[in-house]
């Protein structure tokens, strides 16, 4: 088992290993008398197993709709209702069991119930393990956009049991790699070398290369959120590729996976960096080559620019009417580009055409 400590004002550990779920969760329950397990349909058998194993505590199971359909106020309301009926108190705890959509939702419900109860995160997708479950950003979507309502709320522990990843479909596993590629370009070039060295090994959950890219990505995230939990500076770099990525998810009515939209967003941000005179073309090409080797999309139909631009104006990095983007000066040299000309943005968008 690998353990990575996140040194925030309320430090916690991220455990990654096989068969570690029950034991690590049990060790982190503290004095909770009730545990609300918020899980995706794909995790219902694991949730039943947890209920049987965690004796001495009342375990409430709440299955929520799959993927982004869970990140809605109606689903949060359903969970608040269960907690109210169970007389859930401040010593009780919530567990997010599933992909990033569920860890975001469970974290949000824990952050808001009684103004904050403990949340334990058990991510089961690659994306959830390397990114969503770590760092304490929680939230839900609204009609207007992605993650527009949420709270910063540290998890008490993150337990990533790689045995659960065995059932993750291959395409879902690969979309999670968009965030791994992001971590490589903003902070850790070794991740990119490992991916380029052998895509097969790096994406095989039983291979040491997979464990290394996963651990390195978590370490990138842990370092950044320890320095800047509330995103007043450096944490914005974790949003590389997300300004357009989130707008695509919204425009596509959340039928796209986050990782697929971020993949296109990464190419857009790299092209914007190049057009702004910062990044050599070779590094932009490297983005495309790595993402395409992972079977992730790197192009997007032209003709949706005005809708996407309107949605990007609601991005959390915007200040008033000024759009702000994470760009690169080089690999591992992220910067903020403030208020680029619409014409520059449009040129970057046009470069996404097939």
Ligand X SMILES: NC(=O)c1ccc[n+]([C@@H]2O[C@H](COP(=O)([O-])OP(=O)(O)OC[C@H]3O[C@@H](n4cnc5c(N)ncnc54)[C@H](O)[C@@H]3O)[C@@H](O)[C@H]2O)c1
Ligand Y SMILES: O=C(O)C(=O)C[C@@H](O)[C@H](O)[C@H](O)COP(=O)(O)O
Annotated binding residues for Zn(2+):
179, 242, 258
- Span near ligand Y by CB under 6 A; candidates 1-9, 157-165, 191-199, 234-242: 234-242
Could you say which of ligand Y, ligand X, none residue 101 binds, taking C-beta under 5 to 8 angstroms by partner kind?
Answer: ligand X
Judged by CB under 6 A, the number of residues near ligand X is 32
Residue 40: CB minimum distance to ligand X, A: 4
Residue 138: CB minimum distance to ligand X, A: 6
Is residue 324 close enough to count as binding ligand Y by CB under 6 A? no
Could you say which of ligand Y, ligand X, none residue 239 binds, taking C-beta under 5 to 8 angstroms by partner kind?
Answer: ligand Y
CA distances from 245 to 133, 159, 257, 354 (A): 19, 27, 10, 17
Residue carrying structure tokens 């707008």? 247
Token pair for 192:
């990119």
- Span near ligand Y by CB under 6 A; candidates 5-13, 237-245, 276-284, 346-354: 237-245
Please, are residues 241 and 265 in contact by the beta-carbon 8 Å criterion? yes
Token pair for 99:
């992909």
Is residue 241 close enough to count as binding ligand X by CB under 6 A? no
Which residues in 56-110 belong to E strands, given as ranges?
58-63, 93-98
Closest of 115, 109, 133 to residue 36, by C-alpha: 109
What one-character-per-residue DSSP string does 312-352 give? HTT-TT-BTTB-EEEEEEETTEEEEEES--HHHHHHHHHTT
Residue carrying structure tokens 């309502």? 149
Could you say which of ligand Y, ligand X, none residue 235 binds, taking C-beta under 5 to 8 angstroms by partner kind?
Answer: ligand Y
Could you say which of ligand Y, ligand X, none residue 42 binds, taking C-beta under 5 to 8 angstroms by partner kind?
Answer: ligand X
Is residue 100 close enough to count as binding ligand X by CB under 6 A? yes
What one-character-per-residue DSSP string does 249-298 give? HHHTTT-S-HHHHHHHHHHHHHHHHHHTT-S-HHHHHHHHHHHHHTT---
The residue ranges that bind ligand Y (CB under 6 A) are 131, 135, 137, 147, 179, 231, 235, 238-239, 242, 316
The residue ranges that bind ligand X (CB under 6 A) are 40, 42, 66-68, 71, 98-102, 104, 124-125, 127-128, 131-132, 135, 137, 147, 164-165, 167-168, 172, 175-176, 179, 257-259
């Amino acid at each position: 088992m690998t353990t990575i400590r996140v040194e925030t004002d309320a430090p916690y550990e991220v455990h990654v290993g096989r068969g570690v779920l029950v034991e690590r969760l049990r060790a982190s329950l503290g004095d909770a008398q009730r545990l609300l397990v918020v899980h995706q349909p794909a995790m219902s058998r694991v949730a039943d197993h947890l209920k049987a194993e965690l004796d001495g505590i009342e375990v409430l199971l709440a299955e929520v709709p799959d993927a982004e359909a869970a990140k809605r106020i109606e689903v949060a309301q359903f969970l608040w209702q269960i907690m109210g009926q169970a007389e859930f108190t401040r010593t009780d705890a919530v567990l997010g069991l599933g992909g990033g959509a569920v860890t975001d939702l469970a974290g949000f419900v824990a952050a808001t119930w009684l103004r904050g109860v403990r949340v334990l995160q058990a991510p089961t997708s690659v994306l959830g393990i390397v990114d969503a479950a770590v760092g304490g950003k929680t939230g839900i979507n609204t009609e207007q956009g992605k993650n527009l309502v949420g709270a910063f709320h540290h998890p008490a522990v993150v337990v990533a049991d790689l045995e659960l990843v065995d059932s993750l479909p291959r395409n879902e596993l690969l979309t999670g790699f968009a965030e791994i590629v992001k971590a490589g370009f903003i902070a850790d070039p070794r991740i990119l070398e490992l991916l380029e060295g052998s895509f097969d090994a790096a994406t095989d959950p039983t291979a040491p290369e997979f464990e290394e890219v996963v651990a390195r990505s978590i370490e990138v995230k842990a370092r950044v959120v320890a320095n800047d939990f509330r995103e007043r500076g450096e944490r914005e770099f974790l949003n590389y590729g997300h300004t357009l990525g989130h707008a695509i998810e919204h425009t596509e009515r959340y039928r796209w996976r986050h990782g697929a939209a971020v993949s296109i967003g990464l190419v857009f941000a790299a092209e914007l960096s190049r057009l702004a005179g910062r990044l050599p073309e070779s590094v932009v090409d490297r983005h495309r080559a790595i993402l395409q080797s992972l079977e992730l999309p790197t192009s997007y139909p032209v003709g949706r620019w005005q809708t996407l631009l309107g949605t990007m104006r609601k991005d959390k990095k915007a200040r008033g009417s000024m759009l702000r983007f994470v760009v690169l000066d080089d690999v591992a040299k992220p910067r903020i580009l403030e208020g680029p000309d619409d014409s520059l943005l449009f040129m970057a968008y046009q470069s996404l055409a097939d």
